[in-house]
Amino acid sequence: MEVSIPGVGECPISISDFGDGYIEMTIRKVGKATEGIDRLDTGDYLYLRGPYGHGFAVDDFHDKHLIIAAGGTGLAPVKSVINYFYENLGLLKEFDILCGFKTSSDILFKSDLDKWAQVFRVEVTVDKADAVEGVAVDLQPKTDSWPSKIGLITNLVPDIKIPLLNETRVIVVGPPIMMKYTVQEFLRRGIAKENIWVSFERKMSCGLGKCGHCKIDETYVCLEGPVFNFSKAQNLLD
């Protein structure tokens, strides 16, 4: 969705969940427009246009082993996918959720991670432990989803049990460098590139394929993406 405040600015925000009569967006305060959104109170107005682009075709994952690897705020765009399968248990053969964050203070959707961990395999790792006055804090696993591991999300991939490669589907969402190396790890595990999907969270201005801000070569991410099969995405290089 393109989210705007007149006189302040406009920014593209992923839909992290939706239902009858509502949509949910997870917004990080990083610029003029999002700072303006942060100052709003309940009952204030903002403006939405969209939705634009293509999301995840959940029907393609039915009766498969699905693995989602999300880095940082990359968990937001896949939250609705996870909730879909949480609310429709039995549609997947297996479900692994891998989440990586910079520190435990940066973890998103903690209560949802706890909920998902009751029925799916959920692994959370942080790049480094939080520190107090320069002393690292030991991370003890307080819940099923609380990070008991420290390190990059790529370290979680080799330990995933993948009984049948041809029945496994993978979604990778996060910062570009995280997606690059996480996809490489799944390729090393033998997952075909045609069975991997990524989402390009690029700066989109018009959302209509007119301004060219999101264009890579001849591909408009706002029109054909932001979700791409890796067989296509591997050639989308800036």
Residues with Cβ within 8 Å of 143's Cβ and at least 6 positions away in sequence, in order, are 113, 114, 117
CB 126 within 8 A of CB 99: no
CB 145 within 8 A of CB 110: yes
Domain contains 221: yes
120 shares a domain with 8? no
Domain contains 172: yes
151 shares a domain with 119? yes
147 shares a domain with 109? yes
What is residue 205's predicted lDDT score, i.e. its pLDDT? 81
What is residue 139's predicted lDDT score, i.e. its pLDDT? 44
- d(Cα 152, Cα 99) in Å, to the nearest integer? 10
- d(Cα 194, Cα 202) in Å, to the nearest integer? 22
CATH number, domain of 139, equals 3.40.50.80
CB 107 within 8 A of CB 72: no
What is residue 59's predicted lDDT score, i.e. its pLDDT? 94
Domain count, the chain: 2
**What angle in degrees, to the nearest 10, is found between the helix axes of 110-117 and 75-87?**
40
Closest to 97 in 3D by CA, of 70, 65, 62: 70
What range defines the domain where residue 34 resides? Answer: 2-49
What is residue 237's predicted lDDT score, i.e. its pLDDT? 73
82 shares a domain with 183? yes
100 shares a domain with 16? no
Q: What is the mean pLDDT of each run of 10 residues along the chain (238 residues)?
A: 91 90 90 92 92 92 98 94 96 97 90 94 87 44 59 94 95 94 97 95 80 86 90 84
184 shares a domain with 212? yes
Domain contains 202: yes
